[in-house]
Amino acid sequence: MAGHSHVLEGIQVSSPELGIGIIGLGAIGVTHARALRALPGVNLVAFSGGSPGLAAESGWPGAVRLDPDAVIVHPEVAAVAVCAPTEWHAPLAIAAAEAGRHVLVEKPMATSVADAERLAVLQAERGVVIAMVAQRRFEAEFAYVKTLLDGGHLGRMRLATTHVHWHRDDDYYAAAGWRSSMAAGGGSLMNQGVHNVDLLRWLCGPVADVTAQYGTLGHEMDAEDTTVATLRFTSGALGMISTSTATPPGSPATLTLHTSLGVVELGQGEVIRWDLPGVPPPPADDTVISGASDPAAIGIAGHVAMWREVLEAIAGGRRSAADATDAAGTVRLLCGIYEAARTGRQVRLEDLS
């Protein structure tokens, strides 16, 4: 990127580097810091959370450690990465956008439809880029399938399923209270399943209505640890989602598409089944690291690609491909599934507010 002339509210610098702030320099915040280190034209200016030396260990010795509010209003910070616990994603993203900062917020963007829609409005009102981390969209096999679908090369969608059965033990939940709280976004659907839910909606289009059930089957806690949902897409295709942290370790997340022309089943960096006559499969992506057994097993390749796309959107004065409006669709689906499970009724997503 050749340079950035910062015209956002409260930003006083004009430099060849875009100033970044990270709120929440824990495990995922460090992933962002390491990803940014791999990209030109950026500078990690400030961060919150984590240990004082963590930014330096991640390659940014000049970054200063501040409280979250101070990171947002720092005069050299033009874009903020929100990597705090899930319940703080929307409040911090809203505060950053209202301060005129671009925002990249970890998944899920919000835990309520109202907050997600507020962020969609803010990106237009404030003229800033707001995006949810959707790094799995950049994995080679999913990007390839998306191109084929958009070009009409896979036929008509009939059935789409995704399963995220990622074991998490009691120590994982004890390490952070929000992980065991339903209201804080700690459930297996909202926390572990969100990326594949986003992929399913991105690949197959909007969902019209859902039915669902959930339970807490393997842990003593408030949040669900197992959810199963059935979907009807606006296209007429049907779908199914299952997520669980109460299953044994070692199961990669999978996504399967049954179309009028064949079947595609993808794992994590793996093509499990490719039954599409005349259509060559994508190469396996060896940059993908699975968190099926270990929540700390997070590679940076997807975050590098996500940040690159966001930086290009900022430089080009356009919205991100995973902008707040798009991400609000994923939040609406997640909330719709929970509402259907809670009430035992079929839920039309357009009725959620």
Residue 278 sits in a domain whose CATH number is 3.30.360.10
Domain that holds residue 71: 4-135+304-322
Question: What pLDDT score was predicted for residue 283?
Answer: 81
Query: Are 126 and 160 members of one domain?
Result: no
Query: Are 177 and 317 members of one domain?
Result: no
Question: What pLDDT score was predicted for residue 11?
Answer: 53
Q: Give me the helices (H) in 151-297, please.
A: 170-174, 194-204
DSSP 3-state of 125: helix
User: pLDDT tens digits, residue range 15-50?
Assistant: 579 999 999 999 999 999 999 999 999 999 999 999
| pLDDT above 90 for 1 | no
Query: Are 211 and 342 members of one domain?
Result: yes
Q: Residue 294's closest CA among 334, 341, 245?
A: 245
In this structure, what token pair is assigned to residue 142? 């999913």
Question: What pLDDT score was predicted for residue 9?
Answer: 52
Q: 301-316 vs 27-37: helix axis angle to the nearest 10?
A: 60
| pLDDT above 90 for 165 | yes
| pLDDT above 90 for 285 | no
In this structure, what token pair is assigned to residue 249? 């370790």
Q: Sign of the CA dihedral 333, 312, 35, 63?
A: negative
Question: What pLDDT score was predicted for residue 217?
Answer: 98
Question: What pLDDT score was predicted for residue 38?
Answer: 97
Residue 121 sits in a domain whose CATH number is 3.40.50.720
Query: Are 105 and 211 members of one domain?
Result: no
In the predicted model, what is the mean pLDDT of the chain? Answer: 94
First-to-final CA distance of the chain: 39
For range 284-291, the mean pLDDT: 62
- Give residues with Cβ within 8 angstroms of 208, minimum separation 6: 232, 233, 234, 348, 349, 350
| pLDDT above 80 for 292 | no
Least confident of 2-11, 144-153, 154-163, 281-290: 2-11
Torsion angles phi and psi, residue 314, rounded to 5? -60, -50
How far is residue 87's CA from residue 302's CA, in Å, rounded to a whole number? Answer: 23
User: pLDDT tens digits, residue range 91-141?
Assistant: 999 999 999 999 999 999 999 999 999 999 999 999 999 999 999 999 999
Q: Residue 224's closest CA among 240, 254, 246, 209?
A: 246
Q: What is the DSSP string of 282-322?
A: PPP-TT----SS-TT---SHHHHHHHHHHHHHHHHT---TT
Query: Are 120 and 208 members of one domain?
Result: no
How far is residue 228's CA from residue 213's CA, in Å, rounded to a whole number? Answer: 6
| pLDDT above 70 for 64 | yes
Q: What percentage of the chain exceeds 90 in pLDDT?
A: 89
Question: What pLDDT score was predicted for residue 299?
Answer: 83
User: pLDDT tens digits, residue range 320-333?
Assistant: 999 999 999 999 99
Question: What pLDDT score was predicted for residue 15?
Answer: 57
Query: Are 314 and 262 members of one domain?
Result: no
